[in-house]
Amino acid sequence: MKKNLFLPLVLIFGILQSFGQNPRNTVRFGMVTDVHYADIPDNGIKTYNQSLVKLKECVDTMNRQKVDFLVELGDLKDMNTPAAPAKALIYLFRAEKALSLFKGPLYHVLGNHDEDCISKKQFLSEARNTGIPANSTWYSFDTKGVHFIVLDACFDSVGHDYDKGKFNWGDPNIPSEELKWLKKDLREATGATILFTHQPLDGETPYTIKNSRAVRKLLENSGKVAAVFQGHYHEGNYHFINGIHYYTLKALVDGSGPENNSYAIVEITPENIRIKGFRKAVSMQFNNSR
């Protein structure tokens, strides 16, 4: 993450005022991304075999901190080369077992590696989302007066699902059906809204969702979205675009040893959003004052 992104305060232009002034409404959630667990040799800085130990540290921290929920922002698993779907399902089972030790609601965002040699249906058969219909790849939920939206950008430009490795990782898109759902969900949402996605909605890079401008326009027009939390770009990032914060969490998989772990706790109050980064993850605060 670039040094000029380490800002102590960033304005949020009053969106959180709709959250209310009751301090009991404070929401605290944990997030982790790009675990990429697999029982395979390291690839550069990607230490796939260490991911379960790092993930255990994350879950233990979230349990001690008693956060309201934990969200995994995509690419929970990885795979062998050549592809071995049966082994990939074992990696998924192990990673989900580690996550399931969290004592609270658990949510997943679909990442491209989650379908690198299995289907979305196979992934969701193991990776369950608390209170969400089993086959839902995009969905929303509410916690203490804050609305949360999970998007699925694992579609190609034609609108086909990423499926069993049949995709171009540089061609992520939000299909028209999901955009219609998002517009309706935002219209019906009350109060401040937070959005989760794997592939970023900000910037103009190969990592960015291809129709990101259309998606951002919906978020901006709603006047309700305070922040978007993302994964996929392992180095992490931050942008502030037209009143919305876009924070990309650094990848858990990159680097050897516990010091190279990455996860965070986000605290939302009527005054601000605070991100407490652990290990490599960057801490930030988005202030609600003008």
pLDDT at 109: 98
Best CA proximity match to 29, nearest among 274, 197, 259: 274
**Using CA atoms, how far apart are residues 284 and 275, in angstroms rounded to an integer?**
5
pLDDT tens for the 290 residues of the chain, in order: 333 343 333 334 455 555 544 445 799 999 999 999 999 999 999 999 999 999 999 999 999 999 999 999 999 999 999 999 999 999 999 999 999 999 999 999 999 999 999 999 999 999 999 999 999 999 999 999 999 999 999 999 999 999 999 999 999 999 999 999 999 999 999 989 999 999 999 988 889 999 999 999 999 999 999 999 999 999 999 999 999 999 999 999 999 999 999 999 999 998 899 999 999 999 999 875 42
Task: Order the strands of the 284-287 sheet from edge to edge.
Answer: 10-11, 284-287, 272-279, 262-268, 27-32, 69-72, 106-108
CA distances from 223 to 109, 119, 147, 164 (A): 23, 35, 13, 37
pLDDT at 3: 34
DSSP 249: P
With residues binned 3-state (H G I as helix, E B as strand, rest as coil), the percentages for the chain, rounded to 5, are 30, 25, 45
Structural domain total, the chain:
1
**Using CA atoms, how far apart are residues 262 and 266, in angstroms rounded to an integer?**
13
pLDDT at 15: 58
Model pTM score: 0.92
41 CB-contact burial (10 Å; exposed 0-12 / middle 13-18 / buried 19+): exposed
For residue 271, give its domain range. 3-287
**Which CATH number belongs to the domain containing residue 40 in this structure?**
3.60.21.10
**Using CA atoms, how far apart are residues 13 and 19, in angstroms rounded to an integer?**
13
CA distances from 283 to 23, 117, 263 (A): 22, 34, 10
pLDDT at 191: 82
What tokens appear for 193 in the block?
Answer: 């809204």
